[in-house]
Amino acid sequence: MTSPRMKTAALFLSIATLHGVTLAAMPLDIAHAQEAATAPASLTITFQGISQPTGELRGQLFASEAAYGGKGGEPAAQFVLPVTGDSVSTTLTGLQPGRYAIRVFHDVDGDGKMAANPFGIPTEPFAFSNDARGAFGPAAWSDAAFEVAGEAATVITID
């Protein structure tokens, strides 16, 4: 006579064996596709429509809404790019696939700070990914966020 415990143990053993056989039979291309999905990705950003070919672009790439909103975490990357024409490009590498957002300002005078008027309104040009616009502050994460895939290089343009 078989006890309920023995039946349960036999069931678990059967499931474990079936799971092991399934994994062993998995085609290698599926395993490689799963590895590629978590492989480091790259992001190429082109800033265009720059009206003054002086100073530098100072920007940050964020991998979470909390970090983007200043409520925890650091930027995933930061960059400072010299401006010598009406467009500038850069490529960020080693990124994990996922959602990101960018905020950038054109430091026209090169002092390392965003200039503002006495009311705190920026006087130097600024932009966000997806060309998102903010109302009385930065653009919302949901408007600026975009996907970076691990399989191919992601390319975006900010005007």
Given a contact cutoff of 8 angstroms between Cβ atoms, the answer to whether 140 and 134 are in contact is yes
Stretch 30-53: mean pLDDT: 77
Domain co-membership, 29 together with 62: no
- Confidence band for 38, pLDDT divided at 50, 70 and 90: low
Given a contact cutoff of 8 angstroms between Cβ atoms, the answer to whether 145 and 99 are in contact is yes
Counted domains in the chain: 2
Q: Which among 138, 107, 141 is positioned nearest to 124, based on CA atoms? A: 107
pTM of the model: 0.75
Given a contact cutoff of 8 angstroms between Cβ atoms, the answer to whether 158 and 45 are in contact is yes
Domain co-membership, 20 together with 72: no
Question: For position 121, which CATH number holds?
Answer: 2.60.40
Residue 151, pLDDT score: 76
Share of the chain above pLDDT 70, in %: 76
Domain co-membership, 20 together with 79: no
Domain co-membership, 63 together with 117: yes
Handedness of CA 57, 60, 65, 71 (dihedral sign): negative
Domain co-membership, 51 together with 32: no
Domain co-membership, 92 together with 154: yes
Domain co-membership, 28 together with 100: no
The residue with greater pLDDT, 151 or 154, is 154
* CA atoms of 108 and 128, how far apart (whole Å): 17
Domain co-membership, 154 together with 126: yes
Given a contact cutoff of 8 angstroms between Cβ atoms, the answer to whether 111 and 104 are in contact is no
User: Domain range holding 55?
Assistant: 41-158
pLDDT surpassing 60 at residue 14: no
